[in-house]
Amino acid sequence: MKILIYGNTGKACRNEWISNLETLLKAEKIEYDIISREDLQNEMSADALFILGGDGTILHLTEFASKNNIPIIGINAGKLGFLSEFEICETENALNSLIKGELKQDKRSTLSIEFNQKKYIALNDAVVQRIYTENEDGIISNIEIFIDGKAVDIVRGDGVIVSTPTGSTAYSLSAGGAILAPRINAHSITTISAHSLHHRPIIFSADSTCELLLKEGNIAGLFIDGKLVDTLKCGDRIKVSKSELFMTFYRKETSDFYDRLLSKLNVNFNRG
């Protein structure tokens, strides 16, 4: 068995967390490598990738894990930890469960985003959103939305979110979007602070292609899983489709999406 370890470099206790995991791996005589940001451009193989951090850390490794087809074990050392399966205090339990074959795989679809002759991979979402600068302080005007070449809406507001089922519980949810079950073959479109009462989330087949056209207005940013990757000007078009790559998570046998949803969203629900 071969294990990879990645820890959030922004966490003060990162070295301590990694050292504890190293001790456990050495005791089990399991081969492992600690990887850095620089390693994320390389091709690697492993039986599992332990990610110690929050949801942002996992999102940062989407392209690396999906392209190398390495299942992830998320160890939550952040705040929400919606994508993680284990808390930092459960690291030993996570490793033992992996060794015993007691974990199940949870396969999540990803987005392929094409813009400016570049292609990006997203686990959560692609967002076209206004950028606040000294010279650009107005709203974005007119983002036209196309599905399979057919115009379906024109949005005047702060932006548009195109999300996967996984991303439906992230920024899209905060903007009033619908929650999609993980295995549904669909994507969602959610507007951000639209200046109209008619806008509602659009759920469409993941086998379709969505395009966003910035028709007029101020400068906007293209954000992939929360990271600004490029800027847009009038006439720019973003193409969003289902990627051939998947992100695979290892989860507890008892893990349930709806239980996690209620727990992470702090919903007290009496099942009777």
Backbone phi, psi, residue 260, to 5°: -65, -40
DSSP state of 178: P
Tens digits of per-residue pLDDT, 201-244?
999 999 999 999 998 767 789 999 999 999 998 899 999 999 99
Tens digit of pLDDT for each residue in 129-182?
988 766 655 566 689 999 999 999 998 888 999 999 999 999 999 999 999 999
d(CA 195, CA 223): 21
Residue tagged active-site, from 33, 39, 55, 153: 55
Angle at 125 between CA 18 and CA 94, to 5 degrees: 30
Those residues with Cβ within 8 angstroms of residue 39's Cβ, 6 or more apart along the chain or in another chain: none
pLDDT at position 141: 65
* Residue 47 annotated to the active site: no
Nearest to 129 by CA among 54, 229, 203: 229
Identify whether the C-beta of residue 190 lies closer than 8 Å to the C-beta of residue 179. no
Distance CA 76, CA 219 (A): 36
Overall average pLDDT of the 60-64 stretch? 96
Burial of 37 from C-beta contacts in 10 A (0-12 / 13-18 / 19+): exposed
Task: Name the more confident of 270 and 145.
Answer: 145
- For the record, the structure tokens of 127 come out as 């967002």
- The amino acid sitting at 61 is L
3 residue type, one letter: I
Q: Are 163 and 177 in contact (CB under 8 A)?
A: yes
Q: Return mean pLDDT, the chain.
A: 90
- Check pLDDT > 80 for residue 78: no
Q: Extract the tokens encoding 17.
A: 């967390």
pLDDT (mean) for 78-91: 86
Highest-pLDDT range among 53-57, 107-111, 267-271:
107-111
Which residues pair with residue 48 across a beta bridge? 3
Find the helix or strand (DSSP H, E) in which 123 lies.
none
